[in-house]
Amino acid sequence: MDLSVSYLGLRLPHPFMPGASPLVDDLAMVDKLVEAGASAIVMHSLFEEQLTYDQLRAFRDTELYAESFAEAATVLPSPPQYALGPDAYLEQIRAIKARVGVPVIASLNGSSPSGWLEYAKLMQQAGADALELNYYYLPIDSRETSESVEQRLLDVVKIIKEEVTIPVAVKLSPFYTCLPNLAAKLEKAGADGLVLFNRFYQPDIDVENLEATTTLHLSDSSELLLRLRWLAILYGRFSKSLACSGGVHTGLDALKAIMCGASAVQVVSALLMHGPQRLKQIKDEVTLWLEEHEYESLQQALGSMSLRRCPDPAAFERTNYMRILQSFRLSP
């Protein structure tokens, strides 16, 4: 079965890859992921805050006390605890590239169009085959408009595209006013692909201690539904690559994402729960389904359930909406 796809201009033997996670911090785990068939390795994100901290520390070391006595220098505060600092992150890219024969996709996570974006060029120089911009910004200022929120993202993408020649995918949240319009703007700004979607980790409240708490909840297949809707809407309207991230746990989950238009399927929670071999299981399940249904290649399935063939997608969506609401009945 021919499972080959093109994602971000990279020719891959199949769409299945680990998504951004700490799994790739361990080279032995990277080996296991590749042995399980990973078509690419997606690095976890290097955060804007890490790079900004390093820049401020360098300033303090070299400039802040230039006119002071050495005895007056204060000790810098301890940096936030990240698995890999900026320099180690670049070394990890080099190490993975030297170790495996699949593309390596680096990742930057931030929200402001500033100097830290120059790091994209260093990632390319370290050997990254592509870059994923994991854009995370929570607007809380009532004076900020939806247009300005989108413009921040577009500015970041434009700056990165000026820094690198490798493909750049943008990992989005689902909470934009008109996602198809934003997708068109991102394509014009130079984005080579979209990853749907970023998962937001919501804080809870500890009512006894009166404090916010954070808890990591891994995804399940129910989270896939939101991805399927927007993949199906954007396929054919956004002419670049689409990737699915979030809610893929089985071969059928992956197949649904592909049928809606994803040429890359990123898996994280299932790998954290079941180990790297789950990637091979997903690939095998998709292959078996295609063979049993007499498909000649994965390309026949790609986008086959998108709204591209529907003349009025909005009417289609409203019809389904009304049907679901009217089908509910209270138990006797």
Q: For residue 272, is pLDDT > 60?
A: yes
DSSP 8-state secondary structure symbol assigned to residue 36:
T
pLDDT attached to residue 67: 41
Tokens for 11, please give them. Answer: 């020719």
DSSP 8-state secondary structure symbol assigned to residue 122:
H
What's the burial of 279, exposed, middle or buried (CB within 10 Å: 0-12/13-18/19+)?
A: buried
pLDDT attached to residue 158: 96
The tens digit of pLDDT for each residue in 207-246 reads 999 898 877 789 999 999 999 999 999 999 999 999 999 9
Q: Phi/psi at 11 (nearest 5 deg)?
A: -85, 115
pLDDT attached to residue 176: 92
Region 273-278: mean pLDDT is 97
| C-beta of residue 264 within 8 angstroms of C-beta of residue 15 | yes
Task: Write the DSSP string, 37-92.
Answer: T-SSEEPPPEEHHHHHHHHHHHHIIIIITTTS-GGGPPPPPPPP--SS-HHHHHHH
Tokens for 205, please give them. Answer: 């409240």
Which domains does the chain carry? 5-327 (3.20.20.70)
Q: For residue 331, is pLDDT > 90?
A: no
Tokens for 216, please give them. Answer: 């990591």
The amino acid at 234: L
Region 105-124: mean pLDDT is 89
pLDDT attached to residue 53: 55
What are the beta bridge partners of residue 6?
11
The tens digit of pLDDT for each residue in 12-67 reads 999 999 999 999 999 999 999 999 999 999 999 898 888 775 544 443 443 444 44
Task: Write the DSSP string, 193-259.
Answer: EEEE-PPP---EEETTTTEEE-------GGGHHHHHHHHHHHBTTB-SEEEEESS--SHHHHHHHHH
The tens digit of pLDDT for each residue in 175-216 reads 999 999 999 999 999 999 999 999 877 788 889 998 988 777
pLDDT attached to residue 216: 75
Region 284-307: mean pLDDT is 96
pLDDT attached to residue 211: 92
pLDDT attached to residue 55: 46
Q: Phi/psi at 147 (nearest 5 deg)?
A: -65, -40
Region 100-107: mean pLDDT is 97
Give just the sign of the alpha carbon dihedral 313, 178, 159, 133. negative
pLDDT attached to residue 20: 93
What are the beta bridge partners of residue 40?
none
Region 78-106: mean pLDDT is 85
pLDDT attached to residue 235: 96
